[in-house]
Amino acid sequence: MNPDALRGHMDALLLSVLEHEPLHGYAIIEALQERSGGALSVPTGTVYPALRRLERLGHLTSEWATVAGRKRRTYRLTQSGRAALAGERSSWRQFTDAIGSVLAPRPQE
């Protein structure tokens, strides 16, 4: 997967995996990999800063917890995050429609 291709879609991915359950960063990375059938291996250097950015934007809140001796920062969608997710889904459709219609092979005359 070309790294650049993810540009501008990370927010959508992160918001989407957090839609129904709060998760911590490490679990988010695993969820992305699992849901995409192994296609998405997003490095920690991408995910952690992105989560902080989304929190700064007010789309997520986080709280620390200690589970089995390990510290976790668990992220949760805010109302604003839910709205953002809806917007991202809509944008994604428009985006794929636009690119898809250009990329579609055309019958040669």
Partner DNA sequence: TGCCTACATGTAGAGAGCCTACCTATAGAC
Partner DNA sequence: GTCTATAGGTAGGCTCTCTACATGTAGGCA
Nearest to 49 by CA among 86, 76, 14, 81: 14
Residue 51 contact partner, candidates DNA, a copy of itself, none, CB within 5 to 8 A by sort of partner: DNA
Residues 60/2, Cβ–Cβ less than 8 Å = no
**Residues between 80 and 109 that touch a copy of itself (CB under 8 A):** 88-89, 91-92, 94-103, 105-106, 108-109
- Output 3 or 107, the one with its CB closest to DNA: 3
Closest CB to a copy of itself among residues 80, 91: 91
Contacts 24+ apart (CB under 8 A), 20-29: 22/74, 22/75, 22/76, 22/77, 23/74, 23/75, 24/65, 24/72, 24/73, 24/74, 24/75, 25/51, 25/73, 25/75, 26/72, 28/75
By a kind-dependent CB cut-off of 5 to 8 A, residue 79 interacts, out of a copy of itself, DNA, none, with: none
Strand 23-24 with 70-77, pairing? antiparallel
Regarding 26 and contact with a copy of itself (CB under 8 A), the answer is no
Choosing from 23, 29, 32, 77, the residue that interacts with a copy of itself (CB under 8 A) is 32
The total number of residues shown for the chain amounts to: 109
CB of 16 to a copy of itself, least distance (A): 5
Binding residues for a copy of itself (CB under 8 A): 1-9, 12-13, 16-17, 19-20, 32, 35-37, 39-40, 88-89, 91-92, 94-103, 105-106, 108-109
